A and B are shown apart, each in its own frame.
Chain A
Amino acid sequence: MSATALHPSELPEQPSEPKNYLNVAHTIKSWLLTGDHKRIAILYLFSTGFFFFLGGLAAAVIRYELTSPAGVVLESETYNRVFSAHGIIMVFLFLVVVIPATLGNFLIPLMVGARDLAFPRLNLLSWYLYMAGGTIVLAGMIWGGIDTGWTFYTPYSSMYSNTNVSLVIVGIFLGGFSSITTGINFIVTVHKMRAPGMTWFRLPLFVWSMYATSVVIILGTPVIAITLLLVVFERTFKLPIFSPELGGDPVLFQHLFWFYSHPAVYIMILPAFGVQSELIANFARKRIFGYHFVAFSSIAIAGLGFLVWGHHMFISSQSMYQGVVFSLISFLVAVPSAVKVFNWTATLYKGNIRLQSPMLYALSFIGLFTVGGLTGLFLGSMGTDVHLTNTYFIVAHFHYVMVGGTVTAFLGGLHYWWPKMTGRIYNDGWAKINALIVFMGFNLTFFPQFIAGFLGMPRRYHYYYLMPEVQAYHIMSSAGASFLALGLILPVFYLGASLKNGAKASANPWGAHGLEWETTSPPPTFNFVETPVVTDEVYDFDPVSEYEQERATQEMVHPGTPGLLTKDGELKTGDRE
């Protein structure tokens, strides 16, 4: 800076925007070497979006292929590679990562009132590990592909598959470490970085569920890491762990695999529960019903989730008595999950409901997750599972939980916190239409799969000319997938447009309560000008003033802006006594 220029602080009024985490620096280097949790969240948003797009492309090919009983474009070998690519990318590079790494990274320090996560450089490292892992997985898929499915069952993966199993596994291994570092960071942050007055039971439920998720991550991920590493060792050094010809036990692999991969389902869905609790409480303008129950049900799910892996193995060689126990404990998991659903619906009761776009996602989540969860009970009971296992019923079930649950909640959360992340208000009309497109497209895609699966359509098959009667369901499903794809692409446009044309968001555009809404939108690099001191509960919408209720009603009748009156907003001057 030249000596003649005035120092910015000496100017009487600052004409330009105040510094926030986005405009503090613009170079690529400032993004790639950042320690700021908010910037890392944005990096993750783009990279998970990229992998989601690739996984979605694979899904599109699968849905196209299945429109005819004799297949359309793919050879069987190619089909195996395509559905494996879909599964591996979506599970390991999208679902496990997306909510913790984007919303979690962005919000946890804000919500607990900290300047950053406990270990910012570790956080950046986790992104690089994720990118390195993702790149290696992609390289493996492009040069040769992988045809084991996302489950890597031995001995096929360890002895027979001629595809790029080792390379892809190394990529997943690195991605696992990215998860672990994120998990450690979150746990330490929640334990040690809370602002003065932020007691455990004043934490937003999103933080509780992210904490439970982190516990699952740090306990489960190392197990899958070493298990997959053993597969690599078996392939490269012939280390005989799972090979039946030497007396090894391939079912041991299934046990170790599902010891992680069942809890991994909770890594994917628990963050969604957290988002859901925030959305429901805010758009019902009501304290969440049974805060402690919702908080502890996350912990209960995390704990019980480690005791149910055997329900993936009812038709493996595991003992029937083992199956009975696993089946029983699986039913127990339904209890804390149902506690959550009941508490969300109870929160809605007599709430001051605002049907803005995040709320539409939240409401569709309740329905879709309930369907996904209840069909899980069919699969958790051994008798029905023997009939339904390895059919499209399973495919439909876990897509209801993963897409209907996690992706819907992610979209809801993204819409809810978008003004905070970018400082812009998007077009709520488009967002509402999009929420409906996603809901309808999703149901049209996956509901027919329940029926096809019940009729006996096996998963991972692309020829079904012996049962052409399921073609109608497949065509419905493929048509629905096109709708769903539209609903997943549209946000890119209207959210992207908001960056250019959107109105500036106030600090608290939803009139929500919580520390993340007390700083500017977008927040400054260190989040808060001064460390906040917490004196009340997070869902303190009570007492809802009469005026606020009227405002909400008016907002529903004349839906103008998604922005709502804040507690200390300007419009309140006209309030009556």
Chain B
Amino acid sequence: MAAITHTSDHSHDDHHGPLHHQFESIEQQNESYIVGMWTFLVTEVMFFGALFLTYTLYRAMYQHDFFVAHEHLSIPMGAFNTIVLLISSFTMVLAVHFAQLKRARAVIANLWLTIALAGVFLVVKYFEYTSKFADNLYPGPSFTANKAVFEHNGHVPEIDLNHAQIFYGLYFGMTGLHAVHIIVGILVLAALARMWMKGNRLVTEDFVPTELVGLYWHFVDLVWIFLFPLMYLMPKPH
């Protein structure tokens, strides 16, 4: 068995470096990776798309209750997180840029910076989630029966708590799914940073693997760019 594997490896000795056997040239391989990544992102758009549709429907149905429920969210925290993610996108772009210039140390620094910013995002998210849990604003039988948690400017508004529960169901569902994507992103970024640090030719000789991770990271950021205004920045319904 080992011998067979060995010979089949040798028969492709002319393919140096990171070129896989199924490809003719490094260009074909890179283009395939990029098309594959974009196709994957299309599936991600559809994945989140169903949730955004659900959100749109319920927000249209229960405008007032959604507005009141959303006022419990902290706009400063959400805005801070938005800025954090935007900066992380910028460091990611820098990482890809330096990968094109083959400046490994700059790439590594920027990748770790991106990871750190993602970590900051999750920490802020953690505090946000804790404050919601403290007020029993997580869906389920123990969802708050106390309208006072929605007090705003010293005034307790009218709200249908069932619909508020739908809002928080969507809030936790959508931001939670987004957070899962952030965590996956951190893992992928860390793996990529490690490969750069070890000088793995798969990533150092060509910037495309770094760019693929970048595409994913920008997608995750972009989801948040939609989530932030939808969840945190509602106009007052008439």
Contacts and interface: CB of A to CB of B under 8 A. Distances in A.
A183 B43 CA distance: 10
A116 B22 contact: yes
B43 A222 contact: yes
A184 B36 contact: yes
Nearest to A218: B43
A569 interface: no
A329 B112 CA distance: 51
A227 B50 contact: yes
A412 to B, nearest CB: 29
Contacts of A237: 139-140
B156 interface: no
B35 A188 contact: yes
Interface string A179-223: 010011101100111000000000000000000000000111111
Contact of A191 (B1, B35, B57, B170): B35
A150 interface: no
A245 B160 CA distance: 12
Contacts of A256: 50, 53-54
Interface stretch (B24-32, B124-132, B147-155): B24-32
Contacts of A543: none
Interface stretch (B71-79, B100-108, B161-169, B192-200): B161-169
Contact of A240 (B23, B48, B139): B139
A488 B141 CA distance: 50
Contact of B43 (A184, A239, A259): A184
Interface string A105-144: 0000100001111111000000000000000000000000
Given A188-B36, A531-B24, A240 B166 contact: yes
Contact of A246 (B24, B48, B166): B166
A266 to B, nearest CB: 16
A27 B1 contact: yes
Given A119-B36, A188-B36, A525-B8, A247 B166 contact: yes
B50 A192 contact: no
A225 interface: yes
Nearest to A1: B3
A526 interface: yes
B133 interface: no
B42 interface: yes
B46 A249 contact: no
Given A115-B22, A184-B40, A192-B35, A25 B1 contact: yes
Given A184-B40, A239-B139, A240-B139, A247 B163 contact: yes
Given A222-B47, A247-B162, A252-B54, A118 B173 contact: no
Contacts of B48: 226
A519 to B, nearest CB: 15
A223 B47 CA distance: 5
Interface in A495-531: 525-526, 531
A239 B172 contact: yes
Interface string B43-80: 11011111101100110011000000000000000000
B21 interface: yes
A193 B32 contact: yes
Contacts of B173: 230, 233, 239, 241
B166 A218 contact: no
A192 B31 contact: yes
A219 B42 contact: yes
A247 B62 contact: yes
B4 interface: yes
B160 to A, nearest CB: 7
A239 B169 contact: yes
Interface string A238-259: 1111000111110010001001
Interface residues of A, number: 50
Nearest to B24: A531
A29 B5 CA distance: 12
A192 B32 contact: yes
A238 B141 contact: yes
B46 A222 contact: yes
A185 B24 CA distance: 17
A173 B215 CA distance: 25
Nearest to A192: B32
Chain B interface residue count: which class? 35 or more
Contacts of B39: 183-184, 187-188, 218
Interface string B215-227: 0000000000000
B44 A222 contact: yes
A345 interface: no
A187 B43 CA distance: 13
A29 B57 CA distance: 50
Contact of B47 (A183, A225, A248, A526): A225
Contacts of B53: 256
A218 B160 CA distance: 38
A114 B162 contact: no
A24 interface: yes
A118 B36 contact: yes
B50 A222 contact: yes
Nearest to B55: A241
A118 B22 contact: yes
Contacts of A227: 50
A30 interface: yes
Contacts of A245: 162
Contacts of A29: 1
A168 B1 CA distance: 39
A548 to B, nearest CB: 35
A260 B3 CA distance: 47
Nearest to B21: A115
Nearest to A225: B47
Contacts of B51: 226
A218 B41 CA distance: 10
Nearest to A120: B22
Nearest to A220: B46
Given A192-B35, A193-B32, A238 B140 contact: yes
Contact of B50 (A1, A223, A247): A223
Interface of A: 1, 24-25, 27, 29-30, 109, 114-120, 180, 183-185, 187-188, 191-193, 218-223, 225-227, 230, 233, 237-241, 245-249, 252, 256, 259, 525-526, 531
15 contacts: A115-B22, A185-B36, A192-B35, A193-B23, A193-B28, A218-B42, A222-B43, A226-B50, A238-B141, A239-B169, A239-B173, A247-B162, A249-B57, A249-B61, A252-B57
Given A115-B21, A218-B43, 16 more contacts: A25-B1, A109-B22, A183-B39, A188-B36, A219-B46, A221-B46, A226-B47, A226-B50, A230-B54, A237-B139, A241-B173, A248-B58, A249-B58, A252-B57, A256-B53, A531-B24
Which 6 pairs of residues, A with B, have the shortest CB-CB distance? A222-B47, A116-B22, A238-B140, A222-B46, A246-B162, A192-B32
